[in-house]
Amino acid sequence: MKLVSLISGGIDSPVATYLMMKKGADIVGIYFDNRPFCDEKSLEKTTKLVEKLEKRFNKKIKMYSVPHGNNLSVFAESCRKNLECVLCKRMMLRIGERIAETEKADALVTGESLGQVASQTLENIYVENNAVRIHVLRPLIGFDKIEIEKIAKETGLYEISIMPASPCSIVPKKPATMARLENVLNEERKIDINSLVEESVRNAVMIDNK
């Protein structure tokens, strides 16, 4: 089983990746570089988290870094503010799907936990899934914050994930919690989604984990 995991420097996505590696999956990781809306420390944390997973399972994780800041800028300039998180996730899934095709992977992995943050609702996840045909695995979907942190601490991921780094500064104060597919599609018609996906995939670079 080969999976493409969307990995950030937070707690959730590394734990989700850990759970799938525990099931025997081979992982290809994607880090979305949100600069200028975050700092370089996010990449440093992600790299350290991936190295920790590699050592634990004695497996190499091939890592892509995808420039995502321009995509976020386009959403901010052209689309409804409260839908930016859903638009962002749909874009990441599309890019993940393209890389999964290249890597001949079976599915994507993400770190969503239902209700963990305001935007991670059943309605939003449905709308996000609609952007791709590939299977999207969410191993943490029924976990709460305490359960996720417990696994992170047991695996040595927690100490790295809580290292200081600037969060994404473009997150809306009041993100939509019950996004409607029709509304999201209307926003996406304002921009050239396909060109953004193509540009992001074309400019993806490999991260060399030592």
Residue 41's pLDDT is what?
A: 85
pLDDT tens digits along 87-123: 999 999 999 999 999 999 999 999 999 987 777 999 9
| Mean predicted lDDT score pLDDT of the chain | 94
Report how far Cα 84 is from the mean position of its chain's Cα atoms: 14
Domain ranges, residue 129: 2-207
Give kind and range of the element (H or E) at residue 180: none
pLDDT tens digits along 179-199: 999 999 999 999 999 999 999
The pLDDT confidence band at residue 158, using thresholds 50, 70 and 90, is: very high
Half-sphere exposure of 99 (CA within 13 A, CB side): 33
pLDDT tens digits along 199-210: 999 999 998 765
Residue 192's pLDDT is what?
A: 97
Residue 210's pLDDT is what?
A: 57
The count of structural domains within the chain is: 1
Q: What is the CATH number of the domain that holds 175?
A: 3.40.50.620
Residue 33 DSSP label: E
Residue 171's pLDDT is what?
A: 77
pLDDT tens digits along 19-72: 999 999 999 999 999 887 777 889 999 999 999 999 999 999 999 999 999 999
